[in-house]
Structures are given as structure tokens and as C-alpha cells.
Amino acid sequence: MTMPAHTELRERSVPGLHASLLPIIEGRVPRSVRILDCGAGSGAWLERLRAAGYADSYALDRDEGQFAGKSPFVRADLDRPFAGAVRERLGDKRFSMITGIEIIEHLEDPTHFLRECRALLETPGLLFLTSPNPESPPARLKFLMQAELRHFDGAGDPTHITPIFPRLLPRLAARAGFEIEAILPAPDARNYHGTRPWVAMTADLVCRFLRPGRPGDVNVFLLRPLV
């Protein structure tokens, strides 16, 4: 039996994240929509979408060499203006959904990225982003004890340069023409990848005495264009 392509491609994310995101999309977005994935990487996320019936999909990344998916590919740097490159490659197409899975924290200017996405997104449309959660109990405990941000410290990915705080994102989104529809936890609200169980338990206990944060290793941001 042939395995789905997404199972053979590397997912550059927290284990289980891609699988946890698909039901969120399936509950909100019809399969007929046109999708652009920013920071497509190997193509694993787009191949998962294609396997679920989202066939009208396109990939955007600066490194075509690592992309092994079946979707049409656009080469562009997300830290630079990229809407023009998409139009040059695909024509004056707009997209019903744009996704960015674990990419915005790698960018120098998140507001620039949001503005470029807004230029390519239909109204109504959906911008679907994920980013490491800097307000999870383990993250808050780490900052309390070591004054370091989980996922952005020496143990994290060295290309993580821009933490996305849920209380700040609405301000950035409004500047780019978006509003926040929802912020959801993923892949599991109680499972913190790479954290020892006793650390997670301690973090949960400590956070009971602090202002409530957000559960989950990853935040899922659903943004809608302002009308």
C-alpha cells in the first residue's frame, strides 16, 4: 500500500502538530478553497492538506531545493516583499486561506509578513498561523527561574528570533488589516514536548498562583481580514 506523501516528508514542527491542525481547518474551510502555504519547507503540511481533499494549493518558500511536494512552488523571501513574486508566478490570484505553520517566529518583521499576506488574501478569507507558545506553564516557569524564553533560549531553534505574544498580536494584526478570530492550543493543551513530567507538573502548580497563561506548546492564530 502506498503511504500518503506527507508521511514521507519531514515535518519541521512539534511532533503531532500537523495532525492536530487539520481538524481545525476541516471544521472551518471548504475543500474547494485556494490555499497558499508560506514557509512551505519540505511540503509535508501541503501534502497533508492535499490528502484531505484541499487540492488547489500552492507553496511559498525561499528554498526550493528542500521542497518535495506536488503543489506549484513560488520562490520568495518572507522577510522581503513577496506578494509581487506570487502574482508574477501565479497571476493575479487571491487566496481564500493562507497558512504559515511555525514560520512567523523566524521572521524579522511579523507586521510586514501580515501585510503581505493581507495583499494576497480574499475578503472574506482566513490567515491560519502557528507559533511557539511563550505563555505556557513551562515557558512561564522557565522565565521565572532563568529569565529565558522557552523555545527561544539556547536549547531552542537558533533561528527563532521573534516570539509572538497573544496579547500583542491583536495590535500587530490591526496594523496589517486583520482581526483575531480565535487563539487555540496545539497539539495538545496538556502535553509539552521535551519537558520532563515533573517540570510540567511544577509549572502547572506555580501558574495557579499567577495570572492565567495559555496551555499548549503551540498557539494557533486564526485571523480574518478587516472589512
Distance CA 109, CA 97 (A): 21
Give the CA angle between residues 62, 66, 68 to the nearest 5°.
115
pLDDT at 192: 67
Cis status, amide bond into 215, omega within 30 of 0:
no
pLDDT in tens, 20-34: 999 999 999 999 999
Has this prediction a pTM greater than 0.75? Answer: yes
> Cell 533561528 identifies what position?
159
Distance CA 32, CA 137 (A): 38
Query: Residue range 199-212: average pLDDT?
Result: 66
User: DSSP letter at 12?
Assistant: -
pLDDT at 1: 36
Whole-number average pLDDT of the chain: 90
- Ranges of each domain in the chain: 5-133+158-194+217-225
**Span of 41-50, 88-97, 137-146, 162-171 with lowest mean pLDDT:** 137-146
| Torsional sign, CA 185, 153, 63, 164 | positive
Query: Which residue intervals of the chain are DSSP H helices?
Result: 17-26, 44-51, 83-90, 110-120, 137-146, 169-175, 197-207
pLDDT at 136: 85
Count of positions (residues) in the chain: 227
pLDDT at 118: 98
In the CATH scheme, what is the code of domain 5-133+158-194+217-225?
3.40.50.150
